[in-house]
Structure 1
Amino acid sequence: MTVHVTQLYRYPVKGLSAQPVATLDLSVANGVAHDRTYALALGSTRFEREKAEPLDKGHFLMLRANEILAQLQSHFDETRSTLTVSQNGQVVLEASLQSADGRSTVEAFFTDFVGAAAQGNIRVAEAPSHKFTDVSVVSPTMMRALSVINLSTVRELETVVGQEIHPLRFRANVYIDGLDARAELDWVDRDVIIGATRFRGALRTRRCAAIDVNPRTAVRDTHLPKAIFRHFGHPDLGVYLEIVENGNLAVGDQVHFRHGILPFHSV
């Protein structure tokens, strides 16, 4: 069994649900297409579209503080720039993120949905070439980085904590399998090729309380950051890859180092 991509996701609106895709389009200039393109800024947040600067994720609705968001299932149609949100199988919102009326509808819905946590009136934030990734504050390169989770590492964590852990807690773009648990942490500063596209290991992913929110139930039901540190000796799970050339990824793509296929194990 080779190391390969099992699932691909994008998150068009920061904090909202994962959107599975068969392929991801990537570019050095703009990162992952339609990923963290929009965010829901708190009423207390000052974000200027014309002078967009990276802000800590605490300035926006996000799962670390707003687990209620996991009650919603969202879908973004890039051809119409339309956001559809469902709850308990029923559509509760459908609006364009490119029209003033549509954004106002989205803002009113989320202001009401999260209540006092909105800290005023929620606003849809967006700016050209800007990404609302958690590590956007690190550098422009990291703003456009690709996040990767190794499913073997998730399974190892399940074993040490003694419970099932849904991989979508980690909100990655790329999920891979066939690699030894935690081997992805050694990718930093190494060239990695997925499919036909080259990347550079950039940064290990430090985990926060967002991963304690169960994406199926919207309940904060674990203490995973503490468990990761206790069992692994550090707070990291997953890795960010710098996109060094334009390309795309597809489910099933193999993962290589520049000088050969990665070590793998049977699963």
Structure 2
Amino acid sequence: MTITLAHLWRHPIKSHGREALERVSLEAGKTMPWDRTWAIAHEAAKTDGSSWAPCANFSRVAKAPKLMAIASELDETTEMLTLSHPEQPTVTIHPERDAEQLLDWVRPLMPENRAASARIIRVAGRGMTDSDFPSISIANLASNAAVADKVGTELSLIRWRANLWLDGLEAWEEFEWVGNTVQIGDVKLAVEERIGRCLATTANPQSGERDADTLGALKQWGHQDFGIYAKVIEGGEIKLGDTVRVL
């Protein structure tokens, strides 16, 4: 069966919204353009924003599930970002110039017993991925269906916050790609590792409430992994419907 690129997503602010795309140009050694370009450091963060930092430094869905329900739309030319949430008025801001407005907008979505969101981080040249290398995250529609079957309810793809979604694979077949090179359109990616998952995936993208034991379901396969991280080694454009090949 032919493997194809079924969905493309970017997340301009780490853990604060998602946006569907139809095509994107990728560069060797870089994250997806405008994916995790900004991150929101909390008041206990141990990062000055000069370089990559682990996810524990940032406000994120694993600790604040309501953040999962944020949707976003970015104007790349102006860097103005529109954010929406079922419990908040829609707002259009520049994440850096309007930092205080952004922090005020996010504040009601943060649990009172967690470190408060404090400042906006932007590292030149790369997105703030969970991996310490500039990664593209890839997921498999069949693996999502397998987890949904274990949970006993339909699961939105948005829970997993992956960049690329592939159709035409068997469940968990993507794990066999670690150490191999994958080609999508003209782009080549080196598959580096499986993605370990956290509580973020238990939150519903529509409501921001934890409503599915995704981690318990994954453990039934003897792991807590979903999707794979890859590095872009040859750049180019990819678009929905492109054929995917393992080289």
| TM-score relative to the length of structure 2 | 0.92
Q: Give, in whole Å, the separation in 1 of the partners of 2:69 and 2:224.
A: 27
Q: Give, in whole Å, the separation in 2 of the partners of 1:98 and 1:112.
A: 20
- Structure in which a larger fraction of residues adopt helix: 1
Change in 2 beyond 3 A, CA 1:195/1:210:
same
Question: Which deviations, in whole Å up to 9, do the C-alpha atoms of 1:177-211 show, x marking residues without a partner?
Answer: 11111100000011111111111111111111110
Query: Is 1:241 aligned to residue 237 of structure 2?
Result: no
Question: Which deviations, in whole Å up to 9, do the C-alpha atoms of 1:195-246 show, x marking residues without a partner?
Answer: 111111111111111100011221101221121112x111111111111112
Change in 2 beyond 3 A, CA 1:113/1:221:
closer
1:197-212 correspondence runs (5 A): 197-212=187-202
Q: Which residue of 2 aligns with 1:250?
A: 239
Report how far residue 71 of structure 1 moved: 3.5
Question: Which deviations, in whole Å up to 9, do the C-alpha atoms of 1:76-119 show, x marking residues without a partner?
Answer: 221111121223397432211343xx122212322354263563
Gaps of at least 5 residues in structure 2 are none
Q: Which residue of 1 aligns with 2:15?
A: 15
Q: Give, in whole Å, the separation in 2 of the partners of 1:70 and 1:209.
A: 11
Q: Which runs of 4+ in 1 moved over 6 A?
A: none
Amino acid at match of 1:12: P
Q: Which residue of 1 aligns with 2:54?
A: 56
1:1-267 correspondence runs (5 A): 1-49=1-49, 51-52=50-51, 54-88=52-86, 91-99=89-97, 102-114=98-110, 116=112, 119-120=115-116, 122-136=118-132, 142=133, 144-230=134-220, 232-258=221-247
Gaps of at least 5 residues in structure 1 are 137-141, 259-267
Change in 2 beyond 3 A, CA 1:118/1:109:
farther
Change in 2 beyond 3 A, CA 1:7/1:235:
same
Larger Rg, first or second structure (1 or 2): 1
Q: Is the 8 A contact 2:195 2:227 kept in 1?
A: yes
Q: Give, in whole Å, the separation in 1 of the partners of 2:238 and 2:13.
A: 21
Change in 2 beyond 3 A, CA 1:159/1:45:
same
Amino acid at match of 1:153: S
Q: Is the 8 A contact 2:110 2:116 kept in 1?
A: no
Change in 2 beyond 3 A, CA 1:158/1:39:
same
Deviates more, 1:85-94 or 1:180-189: 85-94
| TM-score relative to the length of structure 1 | 0.86
Q: Is the 8 A contact 2:9 2:162 kept in 1?
A: yes
